[in-house]
Chain A
């Protein structure tokens, strides 16, 4: 089937690509555009490793058709740091060892950022439910939750 031309914006930069009508946004990010920071853990929207934002809204990119990106602003892990300056969540995840193998980490960070944008002062329970769509098999979530809570506290102080 003929490919569709898509104009979109990824991490603030204009991007054009050709997509099969059946391709997911995740496929295009990883295999067409080389943005492999977004991971595929399941392809069915159950693990959250492919989390990205579309116009600021958190989605599983494996459940979004690539052609749906037309005219929208996509946010991926590659756009989270500003140059050499890590996002506070990224920095805190490193300081507090909130990752082990790291495969879920990009998705967790994108989810955590979306959570803190909506709720800058979450309780532990709110963090746990906010990240319930992101499977992590290594950490038992303990250090992830602590890092998100710490980041939120730090970001509130610096605003």
Chain B
């Protein structure tokens, strides 16, 4: 099976590693690509959601009669139409507990945050739907609310859920997660130096530009078609099925182009509601969220309150690390504890580790995954403490990291024992980079100070289920179908792989994303898994197709299939038959497919494994205006082991995009709440994501150290780049000002406040 792969030596690659034009590109630069909100259907009506005006309230009753009587209203749904998953029994779909998902999609016993859906209406247009929402009478018993972690874990805090118990008592700590290695007490006793610090971060939104949207058509025969943008059409199908009771076989989920997700579109909000509205009304129903709804009621990722303690010997050897990570879950359990608990100390070989995560519920929208979920929160705390240890020991910051890097055989506290580890290489890449060596003008002009910071990061990466089908068309071209929504150019990488393996020109390969009825189950686009997993199944499919092509040629030549070579897109006789027959091209074989055995094509469905973790090390230069409190990033260099860059531009793009999201996290983005528990900045004007003029070019240093467990050597790249920036920038601001920050974002008011502290 590896015959083809042995030929895939990097120096021989014609397409892999080249910057081809992406297969879906032309439609995206001309406005023709169809995103979720671009779809329409004949007879379509519009759905709207009524949302809770209270941060925390018991729902005594809902009277929808006036809304239903309004002319133009076709259907109304409430929680009683959604399948109930009783609190006593957990039903999991992937990492999502349906007890929480059914209550997130529609408030059931209580409205748990300002903006929580309580009912939905479908009407002939959006205006009538909105008017009908206003006619729904909800009888609320307003309850005391709690927003911040520190308030939610106080003994007298309003409790969101009676079922949640911590240490035997009702609590807003809905769960914990622990990673343990050795004995930290013993470890700290051996330490010559211990640094312990507490850090705070604010919830931030994934900030995709495309609001959630869908169109659902439920037919009289009980079958439903869903057009929506998500990070997984199979997740859409499964979750909608669970929440509506319609079997999966009766739901076809068609993936629209997706306008960004970053993890947030790994769950759904609208699809089951639209399906039920369509079922009740007998009409296709379209629902599109406003930006305000997106900000109030989807995502964000967690804020955090973390204490990290690291102990080291005088020579810099880490002997113990302890982390307590209080992570916001939002209103329902399920914060990303696995990120901080498992990733914070994973880059290092530390014999004694105790990492505990606390899942804290409060009256905010339920958090959703965001790029390396939770890992940046933990790395922020851990990597700032590492910086402080280096300073106190008088050691170079990167040398201290090098001294402690995990290596082959290192056991991580989260359970893995590492094979090959490529962390060291990322540090050395930064050490050797011109950026790191360049002198820094620390005081370029009055009122301005500059500093440089570094930090590293770790992300697990993932394999999982993927399916692909490779078909040879009747005219001898190639159509590849996979089951993964393409959020960042994954089709471009797959096109390169298919062209390379089959030996055809890139322009002869089409890459499509199948819907749930046309391709086998494929897990989410997430976890930095898609290029890794889909390249694997496409490779195996292509190998099968090449096997078929050899058989067809052998049949035509009446020789043994083993005596046929496949090179450069054509079959040639090999061995004793070499030169006996003229080559048969893909087009020749496609033309003779019917008489040689039928259509040529093959599919592979696989649970992929071998996605080794990703490591990254970043260096950043910042400039702080001490009068205005503005921190500007002047220069940024990010080194990461990417395994093999199937399409270098889109690998660089992942790194550059992840870094800039990290810059926003560190400097400007945060969720702000008023006293009534309402989000105060539910729009892009006041929720400040980086714009073009805020950031410099981002240099991505791609280290191509092939992952031996992947046919092309691919390693996931999408998430690791957002792990180091928070600490790297924080460390750079310290380097500039001589004052450490222990909270994000380092926005101008907070910088000025800190500068004013004596």
**A→B interface (CB under 8 Å):** 30, 34-44, 46-47, 49, 76-78, 80-81, 86, 90, 93-97, 99-106, 109, 124-125, 127-129, 131-146
Contact = CB atoms under 8 A, between A and B. Distances in A.
B693 A143 contact: no
A97 B32 contact: no
Contacts of B25: 93-94, 99
A44 B683 contact: yes
B683 A46 contact: yes
Interface of B: 19, 21-22, 24-26, 28-35, 37-38, 40, 206-211, 257-262, 288, 290-291, 487-489, 492, 647, 649-650, 652-653, 656-661, 683-685, 689-695, 697-698
A11 B295 CA distance: 34
B758 to A, nearest CB: 37
Q: At the interface, is chain B mostly helix, strand, loop or mixed?
A: loop
B296 to A, nearest CB: 13
Contacts of B290: 43
Contacts of A104: 209, 259
Contacts of B692: 127-129, 131-132, 134, 136, 141, 144-145
24 contacts: A30-B38, A36-B31, A40-B37, A41-B291, A42-B291, A44-B684, A46-B685, A94-B25, A97-B19, A97-B649, A101-B208, A101-B210, A102-B24, A102-B33, A102-B257, A102-B259, A109-B29, A132-B694, A137-B262, A138-B260, A139-B656, A143-B653, A143-B656, A144-B692
B691 A105 contact: no
B259 A39 contact: yes
Given A94-B26, A102-B33, 5 more contacts: A46-B683, A47-B291, A100-B650, A137-B689, A140-B661
Contacts of B690: 141
Contacts of A132: 691-694
Given A37-B31, A39-B35, A90-B30, A100 B689 contact: no
Nearest to B209: A41
A103 B209 contact: yes
B31 A38 contact: yes
Given A97-B650, A129-B693, A142 B656 contact: yes
Which of B290, B653, B695: most chain A CB closer than 10 A?
Answer: B653
A9 to B, nearest CB: 18
A76 B26 contact: no
A37 to B, nearest CB: 2
Return the 3 tightest CB-CB contacts between A and B, nearest first: A37-B31, A103-B259, A97-B649
B721 to A, nearest CB: 9
Contacts of A39: 35, 37, 209-210, 259
A137 B661 CA distance: 7
A135 B691 contact: yes
Given A78-B30, A97-B22, A103 B695 contact: no
A46 B29 CA distance: 21
A103 B697 contact: no
Contacts of A125: 693
